[in-house]
Amino acid sequence: MNIVYVYADSEREWNCSEWRCAVPARALQHSGQHSARLLSLQDFVANKGETREACDSADVIVVQRNLFGPVLPAMLHWQARGKIVVVDFDDAYDLMPPTNPSYRFWHEGVVTRPDGGEERLSPQPLKQFRWGLRLAHAATAPSRRLAADWGGIAPVDYLPNYIELANYQSVPRMPHAGIHIGWGGSLSHLQSFTGSGVMAGLKRVCRARPQVKIILCGSDRRIFEQLPLPPEQKVLVPWGRYADWPQRLAMFDIGLAPLHGAYDERRSWIKVLEYLVMQIPWVASEGPAYEEFGRYGALVKNLPSAWEKALLDRIDHLDDYRALAAGDAYQAGLACSIDANVDQLVNTYAAIAARVQQPDVILEGVP
């Protein structure tokens, strides 16, 4: 099978396009049985030279999330030429809280120009996204809840985020004094901390165990500043290159994955999956995002006391939990590698193609 992935992330924000486009494309190429190409949305819309050649030879074109403006007619262009067009998205844009910096774009159409001024897109991007889903043959999403939400507009197949192991293996644990409880993420997680009870839980933990430091990796100073801890017990590590992220993870003795609210319930399993393959004991919020890995860590209710109890247990018995993390938990992470799931990836696209072609089959022989 030949797949073209049309990615949405810019170089500055590169993350989702790595997981949803670049990682599967590399795995398809490495398989020796399939092929894949990466195109930017800008090149897809321009439809010149190598872009036209790539799409001409594709069996499936996967367009990532930004279904507005000239992307919509570009999708129709390739559908008219017999291509299977699939939308991939990994966020609940309709449930996005106002604390998310992307809220104003998706819900109000506000975009910032290069000169710093603002303008508004019309129609609203969320409305155009719905149009794009209806235009596509199908969609894929890395959350079962997210897939179910949008299934009334288009067929949405659950396609998990599979992990590229080479980035995480052979990364040495970073030596440090004390115990590091760590988390890393984008600007979309403020409500995950403020609503989950984890901040109050961490305050209790750090008061009871002075050797503990909380390591926050990312660009959201709001979380760091609201964390009610002494300065010596919290560290903000600025976001760096995507390729350097596994080295930041290697600083963690215990991983955090707090979630809160309807928007967070539609997240994928990435954070916990990374902890599994890095053999990091972890504590996460109960809910659909991480429930498949629940037996390999601690899923807790969003109460300060629940976070406190689970974290203190891991702090006080860290060697035991590291041994557990190196056993079945690690094997569960390995089973979710992209190279082990190329067939699942291809089968998902093949099933979509079969559904698209089925009406033609049904009509054969009808006078």
Task: Answer yes or no: are the C-beta atoms of 286 and 272 closer than 8 Å.
Answer: no
pLDDT class of 363 with cuts at 50, 70, 90: very low
pLDDT class of 187 with cuts at 50, 70, 90: confident
> Do 299 and 184 belong to one domain?
yes
DSSP SS3 for 197: coil
Q: What is the domain-level CATH number for residue 88?
A: 3.40.50.2000
Q: Compute the distance between CA of residue 133 and CA of residue 118 in angstroms, rounded to an integer.
A: 27
Q: Which residues pair with 124 in a beta bridge?
A: none
> Do 89 and 7 belong to one domain?
yes
What is the pLDDT, as a whole number, of residue 297?
98
> How big is the chain by its Cα radius of gyration, in Å?
22
pLDDT digits (tens, 9 = 90+) for 244-259: 999 999 999 999 999 9
pLDDT exceeds cutoff 80 at 201: yes
CA angle 15, 237, 269 (to 5 degrees): 40
How many other CB atoms are found less than 10 A from the CB of residue 101?
Answer: 13
- Displacement of CA 98 from its chain's centroid (Å): 20
Q: Compute the distance between CA of residue 203 and CA of residue 233 in angstroms, rounded to an integer.
A: 10
Mean pLDDT within 347-364: 75
Q: Compute the distance between CA of residue 333 and CA of residue 1 in angstroms, rounded to an integer.
A: 26
Kindly tell me the burial class for residue 197, based on how many C-beta atoms sit within 10 Å of its own C-beta (0-12, 13-18, 19 or more): buried
Task: Answer yes or no: are the C-beta atoms of 86 and 61 closer than 8 Å.
Answer: yes
Q: Which residues pair with 140 in a beta bridge?
A: 88, 157
What sign has the CA pseudo-torsion 215, 284, 263, 147? positive
> Do 50 and 70 belong to one domain?
yes
> Do 105 and 214 belong to one domain?
no
pLDDT exceeds cutoff 80 at 362: no
Q: How far is CA 363 from CA 358, 359, 366, 367, in A?
A: 9, 6, 5, 9
Mean pLDDT within 288-297: 97
pLDDT exceeds cutoff 90 at 365: no
CA angle 86, 87, 90 (to 5 degrees): 140
Q: Which residues pair with 120 in a beta bridge?
A: 110
> Do 228 and 247 belong to one domain?
yes
How would you classify the pairing of strands 138-141 and 156-158? parallel
How many other CB atoms are found less than 10 A from the CB of residue 122?
Answer: 9
> Do 172 and 318 belong to one domain?
yes
pTM of structure: 0.94
> Do 83 and 195 belong to one domain?
no
DSSP SS3 for 211: coil
Mean pLDDT within 189-212: 97
Q: Compute the distance between CA of residue 44 and CA of residue 73 in angstroms, rounded to an integer.
A: 11
Task: Answer yes or no: are the C-beta atoms of 114 and 132 closer than 8 Å.
Answer: no
What is the pLDDT, as a whole number, of residue 239?
84
Task: Answer yes or no: are the C-beta atoms of 215 and 180 closer than 8 Å.
Answer: yes
Tokens of residue 287, six digits? 């809910």
- Which of 128, 127, 151 is CA-nearest to residue 139? 151
What is the pLDDT, as a whole number, of residue 361?
38
Mean pLDDT within 178-195: 94
What is the pLDDT, as a whole number, of residue 117?
86
Q: Compute the distance between CA of residue 331 and CA of residue 353 in angstroms, rounded to an integer.
A: 32
- Displacement of CA 333 from its chain's centroid (Å): 16
> Do 227 and 261 belong to one domain?
yes
Kindly tell me the burial class for residue 253, based on how many C-beta atoms sit within 10 Å of its own C-beta (0-12, 13-18, 19 or more): buried
What residue numbers bound the domain in which 321 lies?
165-334
How much of the chain, in percent, has pLDDT values that exceed 70?
Answer: 97
> Do 119 and 255 belong to one domain?
no
What is the pLDDT, as a whole number, of residue 280?
98
What is the pLDDT, as a whole number, of residue 115?
84
Q: Which residues pair with 35 in a beta bridge?
A: 2
> Do 125 and 213 belong to one domain?
no
What is the pLDDT, as a whole number, of residue 359?
55
> Do 45 and 29 belong to one domain?
yes
Tokens of residue 214, six digits? 């909380």
Q: Compute the distance between CA of residue 116 and CA of residue 127 in angstroms, rounded to an integer.
A: 25
> Do 169 and 312 belong to one domain?
yes
pLDDT digits (tens, 9 = 90+) for 130-180: 999 999 999 999 999 999 999 999 999 999 999 999 999 889 888 899 999
pLDDT class of 367 with cuts at 50, 70, 90: very low
pLDDT digits (tens, 9 = 90+) for 83-131: 999 999 999 999 999 999 999 999 999 988 888 888 999 999 999 999 9
Number of structural domains found in the chain? 2
